[in-house]
Structure 1
Amino acid sequence: MDRFVGQARLEWWANQSTCLEMYDVDITVTVDAAGKWRAAGRHALALDTTQSEGWDFLMEMDPHFSFAFPGEDRGGITVRVVEAEDGTLTLMEAPDWSSSGNVTFDLT
């Protein structure tokens, strides 16, 4: 695959068994001759207020998501997501990212 244009899914996992949220994205993925891929897109559907607040919260906590292509049950590629002011999403593969950090937040 040197180019994919379509819909995919971003998943934010709190740990190996808990996915806090999934977002469908319209995405274009390209792969260069060296095998490095780049992806850009946007949310497939506009987020409502609650979804937008959740998205902002997760992005602030940690902008790393699992990326799943159509037909995949669970994302297998870890990506760092950067969101531009106009809502465009840029995804960068994060092969060295480790989920070994600890995050604590109060749910009360």
Structure 2
Amino acid sequence: MDGFVGRASLEWWANHATCLEKYDIDLIVTVDAAGTWRARGQHADALDTTQREGWDFLMEMDPYFSIVFPGEDQGGILVSVVESEDGTLTLTEASDGDDPAPH
């Protein structure tokens, strides 16, 4: 991937068969000369109260999501997500051994 600007999905998987939640995000991905990618974005639509509670719960439990780009069925890239106070999401590709959860 050379870069990406558009809508993607963040999926939180409880295990290999169960996706607990999916969030659409507007995303900008850049890739440097070494192939390291950085991504920043925001929720495509404002989260309602129930969605916000679910999001906050999942983020507190384990901030690792699979990012799925358009045209992919599932699986995507495992990323760590950090949300700033202004709602900006920063995604970092997880390295092997980062994610303690089965999703």
TM-score tier, shorter chain, comes to over 0.9
Following superposition, the deviation at residue 18 of structure 1 comes to 0.4
**Aligned equivalents of 1:82 and 1:2: distance in 2?**
23
The aligned runs of 1:8-87 (5 Å cut-off) are 8-87=8-87
Q: Which structure ranks higher in relative contact order (CA pairs < 8 Å, sequence separation ≥ 6)?
A: 2
Equivalent position amino acid for 2:53 in 1:
E
**Aligned equivalents of 1:92 and 1:13: distance in 2?**
17
Aligned residues with identical type, % of pairs = 72
**Aligned equivalents of 1:32 and 1:20: distance in 2?**
33
Give the number of aligned pairs. 102
Which secondary structure state, in structure 2, belongs to the residue aligned with residue 75 of structure 1? coil
**Aligned equivalents of 2:22 and 2:10: distance in 1?**
6
Please give the per-residue CA displacement for 1:38-87, whole angstroms capped at 9, x wherever unaligned. Answer: 00000000000000000000000000000100111103210000000000
Instruction: Say if 1:11 and 1:65, in contact at 8 Å, map to a contact too.
Output: yes
Equivalent residue number for residue 106 of structure 1: none
Listed as ranges, the gaps of 5+ residues in structure 2 are none
Equivalent residue number for residue 5 of structure 1: 5
Which secondary structure state, in structure 1, belongs to the residue aligned with residue 14 of structure 2? strand
Change (3 A) 1:47 1:92: same
Change (3 A) 1:99 1:38: closer
Equivalent position amino acid for 1:80 in 2:
S
TM-score for both structures, normalised by structure 2? 0.93
Q: CA RMSD in A?
A: 1.5
Following superposition, the deviation at residue 101 of structure 1 comes to 4.7
Following TM superposition, the consecutive aligned residue runs of length 4 or more in structure 1 with deviations greater than 2 angstroms are 97-102
TM-score for both structures, normalised by structure 1? 0.89
Equivalent position amino acid for 2:82 in 1:
V
Equivalent position amino acid for 2:59 in 1:
M
Listed as ranges, the gaps of 5+ residues in structure 1 are 103-108
